[in-house]
Amino acid sequence: MTPPARILVTGATGAVGSAVQRALDAAGHATYGVSRRGGTGARQYAWRIGQEAAPDALRGPWPVVVHCAADTRWNLSTERAAEANITPLRALLSTIGPETHFIHLSSSYVTGLEGTSDPSAPDAYRNSYEWSKAAAERLVRAERESADIVRFPIVMGARSDGRLDRYSGFFWLPSSLCSGAVPALVAEGKALLDMVSTDDVADHIVRIVAGGPPSDHRLAVLGRGDRAQRVEEVFDTILDALNSWRTEAGVPRLDHLPYVTPDQWNRFYLPFAEQYLDRAQLVRVTAFRAYQGYLSVTEPFAVTDRVADTAQVLHRSIRRWADMHDASARRVPRPWGA
Ligand SMILES: NC(=O)c1ccc[n+]([C@@H]2O[C@H](COP(=O)([O-])OP(=O)(O)OC[C@H]3O[C@@H](n4cnc5c(N)ncnc54)[C@H](OP(=O)(O)O)[C@@H]3O)[C@@H](O)[C@H]2O)c1
């Protein structure tokens, strides 16, 4: 698509959508951003897709629609996850014609626990978010003869400075390390934790917009694949970034936490500790459980588009998180006691 194309970007105030919109603007396109609450700046609109009709300014036809809007929470019921991630997609698809180049953003984790996004049963996935994103991909394939589906793993900030417009659940980790909310790292140290930068996603979108729509369904999987960082390297990088920031801020450095495998944790430590932990501690260790499935992935994603190394991106993103969350990043963890 030769610039300037009129492009609708949903989820434009989010971590990914904001970077995608900036990159498309920089490529010379005329983008229109949509979010539930509406962003600031030119051509930003509030539209709760799936709950109300599109504002007049957003009526089509659209040469290109990039669907970044989603609710990325893992703890919704399946009904609410469907309302959040499937109903809006169905509504959006009903407003666009076959001539639109439709680009759907998805997650590498839609392959769930069985390595495929085919199953419709929720127990084939780690959580309702994965389940709803897999269902969304199936809906795109069923409803459209032509579409781009772009999967990617955990998103870090910009390659140059770690900038992220919104912080997702992953940043619970640096926050927890600083507050002492977790007593141990429940993970397989050798597991792979794949990541991309917002730039990797945004640059890919700019490229496929330039190339025009595919003839049928085209799947791209961005990431590092078998060259992704190991979980232990990720934790070391996070600790290193936090400690470099804390040293400059005059705050005591954080210690390494011990590793415990999910199996050891769930079978021995947790049942034992549950007898002694207070309610607040229990809430925290239970919340951390949701991450175990993501910190023990040993099978690499089958990437189609390998991105450049992400270790520096992670380091910069964590430092940037600390800049933006000064009070959290300065906290001094208290030792766990029963
Ligand atoms: N972040 C990651 O690590 C990651 C990893 C893999 C894949 N992804 C995928 O990347 C895409 C973008 O994720 P993200 O991290 O940028 O999400 P995000 O930061 O949570 O932003 C979500 C965006 O979607 C908007 N939105 C949600 N529901 C909407 C609705 N019904 N109508 C209109 N706007 C709606 C939000 O608007 P408000 O701000 O007004 O609520 C916000 O602009 C999603 O498809 C996600 O599944 C993300």
C-alpha 266 to ligand 1 mean position (Å): 32
C-alpha 18 to ligand 1 mean position (Å): 10
**Is residue 131 located within the same domain as residue 239?**
no
Domain assignment present for 184: yes
**Is residue 175 located within the same domain as residue 86?**
no
Domain assignment present for 127: yes
Domain assignment present for 53: yes
Which pLDDT belongs to residue 336?
63
**Is residue 102 located within the same domain as residue 248?**
no
C-alpha 116 to ligand 1 mean position (Å): 22
User: Do residues 74 and 127 make contact, with C-beta atoms less than 8 angstroms apart?
Assistant: yes
User: Do residues 174 and 185 make contact, with C-beta atoms less than 8 angstroms apart?
Assistant: no
What does the chain come to in residues? 338
* Terminal CA-CA length for the chain: 61
**Is residue 22 located within the same domain as residue 84?**
yes
Tokens representing 15? Answer: 């971590």
Q: Which helix (H) or strand (E) holds 9?
A: strand 6-10
Domain assignment present for 165: no
Domain assignment present for 212: no
Largest CA distance in the chain: 64
Mean pLDDT by groups of 10 residues along the chain of 338 residues = 91 98 97 96 95 92 97 95 98 95 98 96 97 98 98 98 93 90 82 97 98 97 97 95 98 90 82 74 72 88 98 98 97 74
**Is residue 130 located within the same domain as residue 237?**
no
From the list 176, 171, 187, 315, the residue with the least C-alpha distance to 243 is: 315
Domain assignment present for 220: no
Give the span between the Cα atoms of 190 and 226, in whole angstroms.
12
The domain in which residue 273 lies consists of 170-190+228-299+308-329
Which pLDDT belongs to residue 49?
98
Residue 131 sits in a domain of what CATH number?
Answer: 3.40.50.720
Domain assignment present for 205: no
User: Ligand 1 pocket check: which of 8, 35, 67, 117 to mutate, most ligand atoms within 8 Å of Cβ?
Assistant: 35
C-alpha 337 to ligand 1 mean position (Å): 38
- Counting the structural domains of the chain, the total is 2
**Is residue 106 located within the same domain as residue 185?**
no
> Which residue has a Cα nearest atom 19 of ligand 1?
14
**CB of 129 shorter than 6 A to ligand 1:** no
**Is residue 135 located within the same domain as residue 176?**
no
User: Which numbered atom of ligand 1 lies nearest the CA of 201?
Assistant: 10
**Is residue 44 located within the same domain as residue 110?**
yes
**Is residue 131 located within the same domain as residue 186?**
no
**CB of 48 shorter than 6 A to ligand 1:** yes
User: Which numbered atom of ligand 1 lies nearest the CA of 70?
Assistant: 27
**Is residue 26 located within the same domain as residue 135?**
yes
